[in-house]
């Protein structure tokens, strides 16, 4: 049985060979796209596609609305690796599998990670259709991907500071370009059920603005590997108990993703242009 580091080394060896074949450098930015946001990949210049199943040890997404490839190319001349979909904890994988693709990027030497997601608004200050920038998160998944011997081999430090989980510098540069950005606290839950009205009140009460089923574990994995993280949430609905939230469905979430794909493209491009 190979160790985590040995598996990461094998994945990265394979990815590096493919990059070399395409004369593509180690990406400066990795992007993990949330539900219904795949069309962003069409903005990549000199795009080529790597099926995730072709890379040893990597796991391809299966949930509807998530692609199964890494799309590589340039955004405003910045080399990017864009995951057209992600793995969620609610699919039943162990947490190390959920964050493996992010860890591969860290091991490869990618310095910047953008995590996009679909999320529910926990109060009327964040409205469906709005794209928000994460300033912090609350991990309510009941798990932490940094637990355990194997995970600890990926950093010198056992205890990881999360004071700058979502890069202050990166957000500041983005704000200078786009003062309209709205910053939120993201509550990370396992799903796959949406929130009850009581949970919505509870989450808003403890300081969260939006709720979702991804992102926080990927951020933990990335911070352990010293990456800069930016998080973007497209608000696809109000959480249970607010307005017409009784009608929340994955289908509705995907439709909102498609409807606001252009706005996400504009903001993501700005985000990539002002990375470190
Ligand atoms: N709750 C949790 N995750 C979500 C939601 C929600 O309302 N909408 C999209 N992802």
Long-range CB pairs of 41-45, under 8 A, 24+ apart, other chains included: 41/67, 41/71, 41/73, 41/82, 41/84, 43/75, 43/265, 43/269, 44/71, 44/72, 44/73, 44/74, 44/75, 44/80, 44/82, 45/73, 45/74, 45/75
Q: Which two tokens stand for residue 140?
A: 């309510």
- The pLDDT > 70 percentage for the chain reads 98
Mean pLDDT of the chain: 93
At residue 35, the pLDDT reads 78
Q: Given ligand 1 and candidates 65, 120, 259, which is best to mutate, with the most ligand atoms within 8 Å of its CB?
A: 120
Catalytic, 32? Answer no
CB atoms within 10 A of CB 197: 13
Confidence of residue 228 (pLDDT cuts 50, 70, 90): very high
Question: Exposed (0-12), middle (13-18) or buried (19+): which is 202, by Cβ within 10 Å?
Answer: middle
Which pTM value belongs to this model? Answer: 0.95
Confidence of residue 269 (pLDDT cuts 50, 70, 90): very high
Whether 124 shows a pLDDT value over 80: the answer reads yes
Whether 10 shows a pLDDT value over 90: the answer reads yes
- Say if CB 55 and CB 13 are below 8 A apart: no
Catalytic, 137? Answer no
Confidence of residue 246 (pLDDT cuts 50, 70, 90): low
User: Which atom of ligand 1 lies nearest, measured to the CA of 194?
Assistant: 1
Nearest CA residue ID for atom 9, ligand 1:
119
Parallel, antiparallel, or unpaired: how do β-strands 228-238 and 131-139 relate? antiparallel
Annotation: CATH topology of 4-273: Rossmann fold (3.40.50)
At residue 30, the pLDDT reads 98
Q: What is the pLDDT of residues 24-48, one digit of tens each?
A: 999 999 999 987 778 899 999 999 9
CB atoms within 10 A of CB 252: 15
Catalytic, 35? Answer yes
At residue 186, the pLDDT reads 98
Catalytic residue among 214, 222, 230, 245: 214
- Report the candidate in 39, 32, 172 with the shortest Cα–Cα distance to residue 100: 32
Catalytic, 49? Answer no
User: Which atom of ligand 1 lies nearest, measured to the CA of 245?
Assistant: 7
At residue 65, the pLDDT reads 64
Distance 239 CA to ligand 1 centre (A): 7
Q: What is the pLDDT of residues 57-105, one digit of tens each?
A: 999 887 776 688 999 999 999 999 999 989 999 999 999 999 999 999 9
At residue 143, the pLDDT reads 97
Catalytic, 167? Answer no
Nearest CA residue ID for atom 6, ligand 1:
120
What is the greatest pairwise CA distance in the chain? 54
């Amino acid at each position: 049985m190979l160790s985590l580091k040995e598996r990461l080394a094998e994945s990265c060896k394979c990815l590096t060979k493919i990059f070399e074949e395409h004369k593509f450098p180690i990406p400066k930015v990795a992007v993990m796209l949330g539900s219904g946001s795949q069309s962003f990949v069409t903005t990549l210049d000199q795009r080529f596609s790597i099926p995730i199943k072709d890379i040893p040890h990597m796991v391809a997404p299966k949930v509807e609305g998530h692609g199964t490839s890494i799309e590589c190319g340039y955004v405003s001349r910045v080399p990017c690796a864009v995951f057209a979909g992600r793995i969620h904890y609610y699919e039943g994988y162990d947490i190390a599998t959920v964050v493996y693709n992010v860890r591969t990027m860290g091991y490869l030497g990618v310095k910047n990670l953008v995590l996009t997601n679909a999320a529910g608004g926990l109060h009327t200050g964040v409205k469906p259709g709005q794209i928000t920038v994460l300033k912090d998160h609350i991990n309510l998944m009941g798990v932490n991907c940094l637990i355990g011997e194997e995970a600890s081999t990926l950093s010198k430090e056992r205890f990881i500071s999360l004071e700058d989980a979502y890069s202050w510098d990166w957000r500041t540069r983005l704000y200078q370009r786009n003062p309209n950005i709205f910053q939120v606290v993201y509550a990370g839950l396992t799903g796959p059920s949406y929130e009850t009205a009581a949970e919505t009140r509870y989450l808003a009460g403890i300081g969260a603005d939006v709720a979702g089923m991804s992102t926080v574990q990927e951020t933990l994995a990335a911070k352990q590997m010293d990456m800069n993280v930016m998080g973007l949430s497209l608000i696809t609905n109000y959480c249970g108990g607010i307005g017409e939230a009784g009608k929340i469905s994955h289908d509705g979430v995907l439709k909102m993703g498609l409807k606001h794909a252009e706005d996400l493209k504009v903001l993501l491009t700005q985000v990539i242009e002002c990375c470190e």
